Chains A and B, each alone.
Chain A
């Protein structure tokens, strides 16, 4: 994939060891993030996030559906990611499917919490219309337009921005319908409910190259990784999901150390992302 010569590899590894990476960043610094919201007119909410050379789009669509009989008081959210061949020729045809499945599973784990819905970044109870009968199904689609490493963090940020941009139509339920009938509803096209996204976590991926770990690795740096740990952290410093990638094993104490570092990094990322999202929304309102 990434054709690197021995000299280039040494340069990348040496730079990381000296805390000065090829693009001049320190080990735990992110690339500049830019957020644009409301990019798709047909979706309930959408956002485009650029993280250096990585470019992703997330869209949120809401449809009315039936809640799961195990959890009648909760709505449903599903997350799918697609890797466009525009990002890399290797995603052509079915080539991107494996990565897409991996990213989708990782995002579901990070954002949707446990099976019972506890710890989910999205308040599932807010999606309910009629308990046990009708709820909003949120379909979150991510599209990788351009890939330069650290897709998971970028997708996580894009979904967070898209959710804060999402307006769900207000639904008025006709009163008087009996318990077993399908409830009659009237979907408003003017009133929209804004989404509370303060609980949506951010994902921080720490990539281990040599003895050090770096945040926000580029494609070249990712090719040199031995293993990586993605941690999703919410505003209160709670861990909402975590997964390890890469083949090499990690010592448990290193994992715990990486968790505490990622918590520290996430504080800055959340603050940066929040200001970018609010700036993007101001931009959108003006245009």
Chain B
């Protein structure tokens, strides 16, 4: 199948190095301590953060750092064909773990010992890159909750199809079975916290593809900073400062 036309356009009309439209919004769930909606094209996720609060299960309490928990769930209507999956299937558990580890790495857990932070991400629409969108939404929600973080973690994926590196794969490109690199970085510190790849790639091409994904992460980080700044300005305005 042809994923990049001779004119250099992808199936949804993007250029290989072009990202989908991204949109972030803080404060989607009024009851939560922090929440956000993040959209990447048709992929749409909600994240809510509860905590830091008392540890629910005493056995899991840690005396030197906070406990970070994460649950990823997909709405029944999120995929094209409606399917009823039981909660907690293997894929969800794996993604929950990935998000938890990524976020744990950036939260300054040592400042909140004996407490618990819950991150819940809910996929409303899935169109490829849910993993990345969830991490970006979780970052926004954590920032909204005022939880101290080392830096903003952002994530983006890149692939390699038709001998072209492609940024931010959508569902059709994702299911083509080609190599798919998901990267999560701390943009200011310039550190990689998440790196996952399916299939195989030659070393030199991998470097290119990964570099592309890192560029994508940086662009998202800039956007998230803008959203947060705008949100803070509005709060400031409401307070009349």
A and B touch in the complex (CB under 8 A): yes
Contact assessment for A87 and B31 in the assembled complex, using a CB-CB cutoff below 8 Å: yes
Contact assessment for B30 and A42 in the assembled complex, using a CB-CB cutoff below 8 Å: no
Contact partner of A41 (CB less than 8 A), chosen from B42, B56, B84, is B42
Contact assessment for B124 and A40 in the assembled complex, using a CB-CB cutoff below 8 Å: yes
Contact assessment for A42 and B125 in the assembled complex, using a CB-CB cutoff below 8 Å: yes
- Shortest distance between the CB of B34 and any CB in chain A (Å): 11
- Shortest distance between the CB of A117 and any CB in chain B (Å): 22
Return the CB mask of B123-163 against A: 1 if under 8 Å, else 0. 01100000000000000000000000000000000000000
- Shortest distance between the CB of B160 and any CB in chain A (Å): 27
- Shortest distance between the CB of A99 and any CB in chain B (Å): 13
Contact partner of B35 (CB less than 8 A), chosen from A80, A86, A97, A141, is A86
Which residue of chain B has the shortest Cβ distance to A139 in the bound complex? Answer: B82
Return the CB mask of A75-102 against B: 1 if under 8 Å, else 0. 0000010101111110011100100000
Contact partner of A82 (CB less than 8 A), chosen from B46, B75, B79, B121, is B75
Q: Please name all residues of chain A whose beta carbon is closer than 8 Å to the beta carbon of B121 when the two chains form the complex.
A: 86
- Shortest distance between the CB of A61 and any CB in chain B (Å): 5
* Interface membership of B28, Cβ < 8 A: yes
Contact assessment for A57 and B84 in the assembled complex, using a CB-CB cutoff below 8 Å: no
Size class of A's contact patch? Answer: 20 to 34
* Interface membership of A210, Cβ < 8 A: no
Contact assessment for B76 and A148 in the assembled complex, using a CB-CB cutoff below 8 Å: no
Contact partner of A42 (CB less than 8 A), chosen from B32, B42, B73, is B42
A84 to B28, CA, bound (A): 13
Q: Please name all residues of chain A whose beta carbon is closer than 8 Å to the beta carbon of B213 when the two chains form the complex.
A: none
A61 to B121, CA, bound (A): 23
Most buried by B among A55, A92, A97: A92
* Interface membership of A53, Cβ < 8 A: yes
Contact partner of B118 (CB less than 8 A), chosen from A43, A46, A84, A92, is A92
Contact partner of B77 (CB less than 8 A), chosen from A63, A86, A141, A145, is A141
* Interface membership of B47, Cβ < 8 A: yes
Contact assessment for B122 and A59 in the assembled complex, using a CB-CB cutoff below 8 Å: no
* Interface membership of B191, Cβ < 8 A: no
Contact assessment for A89 and B124 in the assembled complex, using a CB-CB cutoff below 8 Å: no
Q: Please name all residues of chain A whose beta carbon is closer than 8 Å to the beta carbon of B124 when the two chains form the complex.
A: 39-40, 57, 143
A15 to B122, CA, bound (A): 36
Q: Please name all residues of chain B whose beta carbon is closer than 8 Å to the beta carbon of A42 when the two chains form the complex.
A: 42, 77-80, 125
Question: Contacts A42-B80, A85-B71 known; A147 to B31 CB distance under 8 Å?
Answer: yes
Q: Please name all residues of chain A whose beta carbon is closer than 8 Å to the beta carbon of B8 when the two chains form the complex.
A: none
- Shortest distance between the CB of B139 and any CB in chain A (Å): 16
A39 to B32, CA, bound (A): 22
Contact assessment for A41 and B125 in the assembled complex, using a CB-CB cutoff below 8 Å: yes
Contact assessment for A148 and B30 in the assembled complex, using a CB-CB cutoff below 8 Å: yes
Question: Contacts A139-B82, A145-B29 known; A61 to B77 CB distance under 8 Å?
Answer: yes
- Shortest distance between the CB of A191 and any CB in chain B (Å): 21
A143 to B82, CA, bound (A): 14
Q: Please name all residues of chain A whose beta carbon is closer than 8 Å to the beta carbon of B38 when the two chains form the complex.
A: none
Question: Contacts A63-B82, A86-B48, A94-B87 known; A43 to B77 CB distance under 8 Å?
Answer: yes
A125 to B174, CA, bound (A): 40
Contact partner of A40 (CB less than 8 A), chosen from B35, B46, B77, B120, is B77
* Interface membership of B3, Cβ < 8 A: no
* Interface membership of B88, Cβ < 8 A: yes
* Interface membership of A146, Cβ < 8 A: yes
Contact assessment for A84 and B122 in the assembled complex, using a CB-CB cutoff below 8 Å: yes
A55-B29, A86-B29 provided; 11 other pairs, C-beta below 8 A?
A40-B77, A46-B77, A85-B71, A85-B118, A85-B122, A87-B48, A89-B118, A89-B120, A93-B88, A94-B87, A143-B75
The 3 nearest A-B residue pairs measured at CB: A86-B48, A59-B77, A85-B120
Chain B residues close to A by CB (< 8 Å)? 28-32, 35, 42, 44, 46-48, 50, 56, 71, 73, 75-80, 82, 84, 87-88, 118, 120-122, 124-125
